[in-house]
Structure 1
């Protein structure tokens, strides 16, 4: 057998660590002086917390303040947007971060109830919006004042979206780096085991 021939056997069980022990995978390794390892294929992929998450979530709150509701359903849609953010945060911080990132993209468009998105359309006519369909704070403003206000909020939104995108790029880089470290854990454990075994037999590792 392997032990009699001085062959070291290392075993890797694909499943729960204890299950591997119960099914003699560890015994098979220790009998030959080898090491037992397990890969838990049912392990849940966890969210890697980054230094950028909290900042992105705070920027998302600022982003919400740039929306100007209009129309019969405008205020309800604005409230729904905030509620969806809260729901995402309750689910998991990672979900809230991803939602904030998606809101910073050009794909997130609310032209049916947000004046800024609506005004991006060349055919949009601010004069067609009734005063009573605007937020109370804007109803007494002239068309010129409204256009100026929309311009200010648009610039503010673009600035925030740019910040979120830049932070998300750093966040993804951070996640990639740490995910690689986690991915390499088994490989490192295996190499360390082989090195220890080689040294015990007075082999040199170069």
Structure 2
């Protein structure tokens, strides 16, 4: 039972089907009726979890020195393909709570005293913020200190303490892995000691990556050594379903009821639209992610927040609500949120169906074409590591 004071204007919210109240002149007691938790009998014995959703924390460490424009472009173009892989994972029938962090290193614009390292975004479930951060990255020559940036990610990020969470670092670059003031052996051993796997992605010749200790770094932290061509062009296949996916994505955006200060609300809405635009021809992949529960805006959007914790809505001030909702009576506000939640669920279902049809179409088209030789990209590297490592952490991954 949660006990707290409610603003008088919000007392009627408790009339909702999932809230009961008793009131005195002194306080209001709210009891939230919860449904029994989903059974976790299907979860792996070696991978229990105690929270509402299993945890996945991913830190992506990108070399942003002069030669890495291709790597950054691949990250921008393939972000939503990468996130889709996590959206397909479940543990005990539950999609994970995905948090992503971005670090850049090796950029001469960054302070030498800080080893040319910058945390671009901390671990966050705000995937639009992650996309925004990626599209703001630029390159400039510098010194690439892999050991130092791994150590900084381990030290600075608030990694999940969930038992058997999937905690992972992907570090990508092309200079020798042993540069800088901190020995990579120390950093990689510290990472795995904290339960964080380190996958290394060398950009360039495979043998050069081995000689440059990228393979050794991955081995120390129980990760995979991966090799890509950072300049390989990313090709998005067009499909008949793209038109309906674009239309459904636009309809989905209209169901978001952003809250917070007026400037904050505008920023959330504007950034969602901007990241749709940034996705470009990869919007279908982004839309597929938005149809899943991996794309969540709890703490920013009324619908997601209400679905996660109905009582949280009662704590909001009127001026934190969208302008069109600020003058509604509490029961009317609740009705609007519930109606929007139902509408969003319907759109998401249609969007997920269209995305599956698109995926089947693309697979069939690709099967008709002769296998074309091509170098691996950043997205390919993630694909090679993620599924195997998620399954090792007790997740089931949809094929």
* TM-score grouping bracket, smaller chain normalisation: 0.5 to 0.7
Query: TM-score when scaled to structure 2?
Result: 0.34
CA separation in 1, counterparts of 2:313 and 2:233? 50
CA separation in 1, counterparts of 2:332 and 2:310? 20
**Residue 246 of structure 2, aligned match among 53, 57, 65:** 57
Displacement of 1:45: 6.0
Change (3 A) 1:77 1:45: closer
CA separation in 1, counterparts of 2:271 and 2:234? 30
**Residue 80 of structure 1, aligned match among 271, 287, 295:** 271
CA separation in 1, counterparts of 2:232 and 2:254? 39
RMSD: 2.1
Say which structure is richer in strand.
Answer: 2
What secondary structure sits across from 1:124 in the alignment? Answer: helix
Change (3 A) 1:114 1:61: same
The unaligned stretches of length 5 or more in structure 2 are 1-230, 374-399
**Residue 48 of structure 1, aligned match among 207, 225, 237:** 237
CA separation in 1, counterparts of 2:233 and 2:268? 35
- Per-residue CA deviations over 1:16-54 (Å, capped at 9, x if unaligned) read xxxxxxxxxxxxxxxxxxxxxxxxxx9856322111011
* Superposed counterparts of 1:156-167, under 5 Å: 156-167=343-354
The unaligned stretches of length 5 or more in structure 1 are 1-41, 187-206
Kept in 1, the 8 Å contact 2:305–2:313? The answer is: no
**Residue 102 of structure 1, aligned match among 289, 302, 305:** 289
* Superposed counterparts of 1:128-147, under 5 Å: 128-147=315-334
Say which structure is richer in helix.
Answer: 1
Query: TM-score when scaled to structure 1?
Result: 0.63
Displacement of 1:75: 2.7
Kept in 1, the 8 Å contact 2:258–2:269? The answer is: yes
The structure number with the bigger radius of gyration is 1
Displacement of 1:136: 1.2
Total equivalences in the alignment: 141
